[in-house]
Amino acid sequence: MSDQQNLYKFEEELYDKQIELVCGVDEVGRGPLAGPVVVAACIMPPLLRIKGINDSKKLTEKKREELYKIIVKEAIAYNVVFVSEKEVDELNIYQATKKGMLEAINGLKVKPEHVLIDAMPLGELELPHTSIIHGDALSASIAAASILAKVTRDHFMEKMDVKYPNYGFKRHKGYCTKAHIEALEKYGPCAIHRKTFAPVSKYFTKQLSLDLFGDEDNKE
C-alpha cells in the first residue's frame, strides 16, 4: 500500500461501516509568538482521492495553495475558526486550541457522523470521534484540514506584515526565528504578540515593573 493510500486508512474503515460524513480537524499556530491559532474542520466526499494531499508542513507553499483551492471546491462542508492571541493569553494555548476545535466542528453546516482529530483529546465533543497522534500525516481528512488552516493563517500573517512591517511576519509567520527575536529586541511587542509567551512576556513583565515601581534610573 502506498503512502497516499495509507492516508485514507482511517477513512476507509469508517466508510466500510457506512459512515460517510467523516470530518478531519487540525490546527496551525500553537507555537508562534504572535498571531492567532487557526483551526479547520472539513468533510471530504468519500470517493474523492486528492493526489498529493499530505500534512501541510510537508508541502511547499505552492502545493498547499493548489490543494487549498481543490479542498475548498470539493469539500462537502468546511469551517475555519480563528482563536485570537488575546484568547490564547487568557485561556492558555491548550485550552484555546481545544476551544477552536470545538467551534470549528460545531460550526459546520453539515453535521459529521465521525470526527478524526489531530492529537487533541476532545472529551467534550458529543459526536463519535477519534484522536490520532500525528494525524495530519496519517489521515487525508486531517491533512485537508491542516492545509485549510495553514493557508488561511499564512494569508492572515501576510496581512499583518503590512500592518506591522517591522517584524517580518510575511517571512516567519510569527514563529520564533532569529530575525523575529531581533525585531522584538529593537521595537518591542506589537498588538498581535502573545503576552504570555516567552520571550515576549519579559517585555510585559518589565513594563509592569516600571508601572509599579517607576524607572529607578530616572528618579531624582
Tell me if 178 is assigned to some domain.
yes
Tell me if 218 is assigned to some domain.
no
Tell me if 207 is assigned to some domain.
no
Answer yes or no: are the C-beta atoms of 119 and 30 closer than 8 Å: no
Answer yes or no: are the C-beta atoms of 135 and 117 closer than 8 Å: yes
CATH number at residue 11: 3.30.420.10
Q: What is the mean pLDDT of each run of 10 residues along the chain (220 residues)?
A: 74 97 98 98 96 94 98 98 98 97 98 97 95 96 98 98 98 97 95 95 64 41
Tell me if 176 is assigned to some domain.
yes
Q: Which pLDDT value is given to residue 154?
A: 98
Q: Which pLDDT value is given to residue 205?
A: 67
Tell me if 192 is assigned to some domain.
no
Q: Which pLDDT value is given to residue 211?
A: 43
Domain of 12 in residue numbering reads as 3-187
Q: Which pLDDT value is given to residue 220?
A: 36
CA distances from 128 to 20, 21, 105 (A): 13, 11, 12
Q: How many domains does the chain have?
A: 1
d(CA 10, CA 101): 19
Give the E-state strand segments of 90-200 in sequence order: 114-118, 129-132
**Whole-prediction pTM value?**
0.91
